[in-house]
């Protein structure tokens, strides 16, 4: 049994000492990158998917890979049908890494290959990954993909790989990076010019490709940015909100014209 | 308890035991040797293998040491310190870049035209074939190294440094090298050591891509 003097010599542990993942939005003087996806604008055209595949050196998904459920698409369009034919309505939901503030994937990695960086990004360090796939199993959004094979491209596609993105080898997990190479490039250019990064200056490939501007990317720490404004919309919701993952991606509910009269406030 | 455990093991004569333990020592030693070799190689660090053989015996000690040509005159991808928007360094790229044959010909159309090495350049220029220079400094594919922020940071830390001195921080004293070789390990520990000393970012995503 410890005496009073023994306990007095113990180092005082600050009450605020918490795990890095305990605070979903730690205060930083930097950026907190986030995205808003407007369900009302998304037409399910898959342009973002194609843009992502080519930007991030993702190998082609052959039919068998899809059937085996081992296809890799960092961003995918989930399609839902609402109602019965002939009054069925298609609903599209682009799903990519949510860059959760409370990421379930980060805490399960035994080698710290995935972590939260000061910019609020959920980063995957490919060199550290040993391929346990704990993270892919922990992810409630199923947006982490394991490399079951060495990536291969039919000629001449192997000559159009993006030099800013490494080609991931077999046996590791990969996922959406919010096009971190573009973020870094823009930050470097802004630093070189001696100015802060402007709102809308960073555009991940999916955002750039979106023909209806359904995807908007920006800094959530900047209260005047487009994403900050949109994420406070009345239509805003998060995917699987009840899990408390605090995603960096906010979805905006689709406005249904047939329901507008019933709900006066549709937030449009 | 111990007896029941022993019952699971095969019964061996002393002679068999000696043979097995001898085999174990040899095989175990064989397994440990590569591990020791790896540790020794790891301690040596980096991939420094001496200067590679180049197709043309280009001598940096003549061009930089004697002629005093600035690094960025030929390696045009790197920014000129203190002057970020000159025509010479306008398109700043991540890599310092190897000069084109045309750039060599700027001078060697008239300078040292009798040298057999310069005649190789002239031949390449006249036939329109690029020279297959062997790359000396190559970082792994997963490293996103960009020269520009490093040169600017070093210029800030050492205001008196010239561009050549800044380059020498990582590339060594190229001005005295007849054949250019890698002098620093340029592995992750090397990068991190410098980043720690100068409070540069240590976030993985800054360098890893």
Indicate yes or no: CB of A184 within 8 angstroms of CB of B206.
yes
Q: Which residues pair with A95 in a beta bridge?
A: A76
Across the interface, of A117, A167, A188, the residue whose CB is closest to B205 is: A117
A123, A128, A147, A169, best to mutate vs chain B, most B CBs in 10 Å:
A123
Cβ atoms of B139 and B54 within 8 Å: the answer is no
**3-state secondary structure (DSSP) of residue B104:** helix
- Listed as ranges, residues in chain B with pLDDT below 70 are 1-14, 17, 24, 28-31, 33-49, 80-92
Q: Which domain holds residue A66?
A: 4-265
User: Contacts of residue A119 in chain B, CB cutoff 8 Å?
Assistant: 205
Could you give the CA distance from residue B80 to residue B90 in angstroms, rounded to a whole number?
Answer: 9
Cβ atoms of B147 and B84 within 8 Å: the answer is no
3-state DSSP of B27-51: HHHHHHHHHHHHHHHHHHCCCCCCC
Contacts (Cβ under 8 Å, ≥6 apart) of A178: A33, A35, A97, A99, A121, A204, A217
Overall average pLDDT of the A6-35 stretch? 58
CA distance A123 to chain B (A): 7
Could you give the CA distance from residue A49 to residue A72 in angstroms, rounded to a whole number?
Answer: 11
Overall average pLDDT of the A43-69 stretch? 93
- Looking at residue B209, its pLDDT comes to 83
CATH number for the domain harbouring residue A17: 3.30.70.20
Could you give the CA distance from residue A204 to residue A4 in angstroms, rounded to a whole number?
Answer: 58
> What single string gives the DSSP state of each residue in A167-221?
PP-TT-EE---SSHHHHHHHHHHHHHHTSPPPTT----HHHHH-TT--EEEEETT
- Looking at residue B72, its pLDDT comes to 85
Across the interface, of B142, B144, B203, the residue whose CB is closest to A117 is: B203
Between vectors from CA B135 to CA B130 and to CA B139, what angle results, nearest 5°? Answer: 135
User: Contacts of residue B152 in chain A, CB cutoff 8 Å?
Assistant: 192
Kindly state whether B141 is in contact with chain A, defined as any CB-CB distance less than 8 angstroms: yes
Cβ atoms of A89 and A83 within 8 Å: the answer is yes
Nearest residue on chain A to B151, alpha-carbon basis: A192
Kindly state whether A253 is in contact with chain B, defined as any CB-CB distance less than 8 angstroms: no
Torsion of CA B165, B171, B175, B176, to 10 degrees: 130
CA distance A166 to chain B (A): 5
3-state DSSP of A34-90: EEEEECCCCCCCCHHHHHHHHHCCCCCCCHHHHHCCCCCCCCEEEEEEECCCCCCEE
Alpha-helical segments (H) within chain B: 2-8, 14-44, 60, 71-74, 101-108, 116-127, 147-157, 163-171, 188-197, 204-207
A195 to A188, A257, B155: CA distances (angstroms): 10, 43, 19
User: What is the b/e burial string over A198-220, where b = at least 16 CB atoms within 10 angstroms of the residue's CB?
Assistant: ebebbbbbbbebbeeebbbbbbb
DSSP assignment, residue A224?
Answer: T
CA distance A191 to chain B (A): 8
Mean pLDDT, chain A, whole residue set? 86
Instruction: State the DSSP H helix or E strand holding residue A5, giving kind and residue range, or none if neither.
Output: helix A4-9
- Looking at residue A18, its pLDDT comes to 44
User: Contacts of residue B84 in chain A, CB cutoff 8 Å?
Assistant: 192
Could you give the CA distance from residue B193 to residue A266 in angstroms, rounded to a whole number?
Answer: 55
Mean pLDDT, chain B, whole residue set? 81
Kindly state whether B6 is in contact with chain A, defined as any CB-CB distance less than 8 angstroms: no
Q: What percentage of chain B exceeds 90 in pLDDT? A: 37
Indicate yes or no: CB of A192 within 8 angstroms of CB of B204.
no
- Looking at residue B148, its pLDDT comes to 85
Kindly state whether B135 is in contact with chain A, defined as any CB-CB distance less than 8 angstroms: no
Kindly state whether A192 is in contact with chain B, defined as any CB-CB distance less than 8 angstroms: yes
B139, B144, B153, B201, best to mutate vs chain A, most A CBs in 10 Å:
B144
Indicate yes or no: CB of B205 within 8 angstroms of CB of A126.
no
Nearest residue on chain A to B79, alpha-carbon basis: A192
Confidence of residue A2 (pLDDT cuts 50, 70, 90): very low
Cβ atoms of A96 and A251 within 8 Å: the answer is no
For the record, the structure tokens of A176 come out as 């959406």
What phi and psi, each to the nearest 5 degrees, are found at residue B149? Answer: -65, -30
- Looking at residue B89, its pLDDT comes to 45
Could you give the CA distance from residue B8 to residue A170 in angstroms, rounded to a whole number?
Answer: 41
Q: For chain B, how far is it from start to end, CA to CA, in angstroms?
A: 56
Q: Which of B71, B59, B78, B169 minimizes the C-alpha distance to B117?
A: B59
Kindly state whether B148 is in contact with chain A, defined as any CB-CB distance less than 8 angstroms: yes
- Looking at residue A15, its pLDDT comes to 42
Kindly state whether A115 is in contact with chain B, defined as any CB-CB distance less than 8 angstroms: yes
Nearest residue on chain B to A190, alpha-carbon basis: B149
Number of domains in chain A: 1
Nearest residue on chain A to B82, alpha-carbon basis: A192
Could you give the CA distance from residue B88 to residue B83 in angstroms, rounded to a whole number?
Answer: 10
Mind listing the pLDDT tens digit for each residue in A40-50? 999 999 999 99
- Looking at residue B152, its pLDDT comes to 86
For the record, the structure tokens of B93 come out as 């790229």
Could you give the CA distance from residue A130 to residue A170 in angstroms, rounded to a whole number?
Answer: 10
Mind listing the pLDDT tens digit for each residue in A145-178? 999 999 999 999 989 999 899 999 999 999 999 9
Indicate yes or no: CB of B141 within 8 angstroms of CB of A167.
yes
- A192 dihedral zone (left: phi>0; alpha: psi -120 to 50; beta): alpha
Mind listing the pLDDT tens digit for each residue in B98-151? 898 999 999 999 999 999 999 999 999 999 998 999 999 989 889 999 988 898
Q: What percentage of chain A exceeds 90 in pLDDT? A: 69
């Amino acid at each position: 049994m410890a005496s009073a003097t023994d306990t007095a010599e113990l180092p005082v542990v600050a009450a605020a000492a918490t795990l890095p993942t305990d605070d979903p939005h730690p205060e930083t003087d930097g950026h907190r990158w986030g995205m808003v996806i407007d369900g009302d604008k998304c037409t399910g055209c898959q342009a973002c998917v194609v843009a992502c595949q080519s930007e991030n050196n993702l190998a082609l998904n052959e039919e068998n890979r899809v059937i085996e459920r081992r296809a890799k698409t960092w961003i995918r369009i989930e399609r839902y049908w609402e109602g019965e034919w002939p009054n069925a309505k298609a609903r599209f939901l682009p799903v990519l890494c949510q860059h959760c503030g409370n990421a379930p994937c980060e805490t399960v990695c035994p080698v710290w290959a995935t972590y939260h960086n000061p910019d609020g990004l959920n980063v995957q360090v490919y060199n550290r990954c040993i391929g346990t796939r704990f993270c892919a199993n922990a992810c409630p959004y199923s947006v982490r993909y394991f490399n079951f094979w060495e990536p291969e491209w039919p000629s001449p596609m192997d000559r159009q790989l993006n030099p800013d993105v490494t080609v991931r080898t077999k046996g590791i997990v990969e996922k959406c990076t919010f096009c971190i190479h573009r973020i870094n490039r823009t930050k470097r250019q802004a630093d070189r010019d001696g100015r802060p990064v402007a709102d809308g200056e960073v555009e991940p490939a999916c955002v750039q490709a979106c023909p209806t501007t359904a995807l908007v990317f920006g800094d959530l720490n900047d209260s005047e940015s487009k994403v900050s404004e949109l994420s406070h919309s009345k239509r805003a919701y998060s995917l699987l909100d009840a899990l408390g993952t605090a995603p960096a991606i906010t979805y905006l509910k689709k406005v249904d014209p047939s329901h507008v009269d019933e709900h006066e406030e549709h937030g449009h | 308890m111990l007896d029941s455990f022993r019952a699971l093991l095969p019964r061996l004569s002393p002679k068999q035991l000696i043979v097995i333990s001898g085999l174990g020592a040899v095989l175990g030693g064989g397994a440990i040797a590569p591990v020791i070799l790896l540790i020794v190689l790891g301690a040596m660090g980096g991939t420094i293998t001496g200067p590679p053989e180049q197709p043309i015996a280009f001598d940096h000690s003549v061009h930089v040491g004697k002629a005093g040509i600035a690094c960025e005159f030929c390696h045009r991808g790197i920014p000129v310190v203190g002057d970020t928007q000159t025509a010479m360094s306008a398109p700043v790229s991540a890599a310092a870049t190897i000069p084109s044959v045309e750039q060599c010909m700027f001078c060697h159309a008239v300078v040292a035209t009798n040298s057999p090495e310069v005649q190789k350049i002239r031949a390449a220029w006249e036939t329109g074939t690029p020279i297959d220079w062997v790359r000396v400094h190559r970082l792994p594919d997963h490293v996103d190294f960009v020269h520009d922020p490093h040169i600017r940071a070093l210029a800030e830390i050492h205001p008196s440094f010239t561009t050549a001195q800044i380059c020498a921080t990582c590339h060594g004293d190229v001005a005295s090298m007849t054949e250019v070789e890698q002098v620093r390990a340029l592995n992750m520990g090397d990068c991190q050591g410098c980043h720690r000393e100068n409070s540069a970012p240590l976030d993985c995503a800054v360098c890893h891509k």
